[in-house]
Structure 1
Amino acid sequence: MTTIPTVTLNNGVPIPQLGFGTYKIGDDETRDAVLSALEAGYRHIDTAQMYRNERGVGDAIAASGLPRGEVFVTSKLNNGHHAYDDALASFDRTLSELQLEFVDLFLIHWPLPAVGRYLEAWRALEEILRSGRARAIGVSNFQPAHLRTLLDESTVVPAVNQIEMHPWFTNADVRYFDESHGITTEAWSPLGRGAVLEDPVITGIAEDHGATPAQVVLAWHLARGVVVIPKSVTPSRIASNLRAVDVELSEDEVAAITALDRGERQGSHPDTENRTDR
Structure 2
Amino acid sequence: MSIPASQAASLPMPPLGLGTFRLKGQTVIDAVKSGLSLGYRHIDTAQIYGNEAEVGQAIAESTVPRDELFVTTKIWTEQLSGERLIPSLRESLAKLRTDVVDLTLIHWPSPGDAVPLKETLDALMEAKRLGLTRAIGLSNFTVAQMREAIGIVGVGALATNQVEIHPFLQNRRVVDFSKAQGLHLTAYMPLAYGKVMTEPVLLDIAARHGTTPAQVALAWLLQQGFTVIPSSTKPSNQAANLTATALRLSDEDIARFATLDRGERLANPDFAPAWD
Q: What TM-score, normalized to structure 2?
A: 0.90
Opposite residue 55 of structure 1, the aligned amino acid is: A
Is contact 1:103–1:133 with CA below 8 Å preserved after alignment? yes
Partner of 1:3: none
CA distance in 1, matches of 2:111, 2:149: 12
> Once the two structures are superposed, what CA deviation does each residue of 1:75-122 show, in whole Å capped at 9, x if it has no partner?
000111111111011000010000001111100000034043133211
2:112 maps to 1:146: no
RMSD of aligned residue pairs (Cα, Å): 1.6
SS in 2 for 1:14: coil
Opposite residue 121 of structure 1, the aligned amino acid is: T
SS in 2 for 1:85: coil
Q: Note the C-alpha offset of 1:64.
A: 1.2
Is contact 1:144–1:177 with CA below 8 Å preserved after alignment? yes
Opposite residue 108 of structure 2, the aligned amino acid is: W
Question: Which of residues 72, 75, 81 is equivalent to 1:74?
Answer: 72
Partner of 1:174: 174
Question: Which of residues 46, 49, 52 is equivalent to 2:50?
Answer: 52
CA distance in 2, matches of 1:256, 1:143: 26
2:228 maps to 1:220: no
Question: Which of residues 30, 40, 43 is equivalent to 2:41?
Answer: 43
Is contact 1:211–1:247 with CA below 8 Å preserved after alignment? no
CA distance in 2, matches of 1:252, 1:112: 41
2:122 maps to 1:123: yes
- How has the CA–CA distance of structure 1 residues 113 and 151 changed in structure 2, closer, same or farther, with 3 Å as cutoff? farther
Is contact 1:157–1:183 with CA below 8 Å preserved after alignment? no
Opposite residue 268 of structure 1, the aligned amino acid is: N
Question: Which of residues 22, 32, 39 is equivalent to 1:24?
Answer: 22
Opposite residue 257 of structure 1, the aligned amino acid is: F
The alignment-based identity, stated in percent, is 43
Partner of 1:231: 231
57-66 or 153-162, which deviates more:
153-162
Q: Note the C-alpha offset of 1:237.
A: 1.2
Q: Note the C-alpha offset of 1:227.
A: 0.4
> Once the two structures are superposed, what CA deviation does each residue of 1:108-149 show, in whole Å capped at 9, x if it has no partner?
000034043133211111111112221110010000111122
CA distance in 2, matches of 1:146, 1:261: 23
2:207 maps to 1:207: yes
SS in 1 for 2:260: coil
Count residues in correspondence: 262
166-175 or 27-36, which deviates more:
27-36
- How has the CA–CA distance of structure 1 residues 115 and 27 changed in structure 2, closer, same or farther, with 3 Å as cutoff? farther
CA distance in 2, matches of 1:264, 1:134: 33
Q: Note the C-alpha offset of 1:13.
A: 4.9
Q: Which runs of 5+ in 2 are unaligned?
A: 1-9
170-179 or 253-262, which deviates more:
253-262
> Once the two structures are superposed, what CA deviation does each residue of 1:163-202 show, in whole Å capped at 9, x if it has no partner?
0000010001111111222211000100111112211110
Is contact 1:188–1:228 with CA below 8 Å preserved after alignment? yes
Opposite residue 61 of structure 1, the aligned amino acid is: I
CA distance in 2, matches of 1:131, 1:144: 29
Q: Note the C-alpha offset of 1:266.
A: 1.3
> Once the two structures are superposed, what CA deviation does each residue of 1:191-222 show, in whole Å capped at 9, x if it has no partner?
11111221111000100111011011001111
Is contact 1:112–1:273 with CA below 8 Å preserved after alignment? no
CA distance in 2, matches of 1:181, 1:246: 28
CA distance in 2, matches of 1:210, 1:78: 41
CA distance in 2, matches of 1:252, 1:45: 32
Is contact 1:47–1:53 with CA below 8 Å preserved after alignment? yes
Partner of 1:135: 134
Q: Which runs of 5+ in 1 are unaligned?
A: 1-11
CA distance in 2, matches of 1:209, 1:143: 35
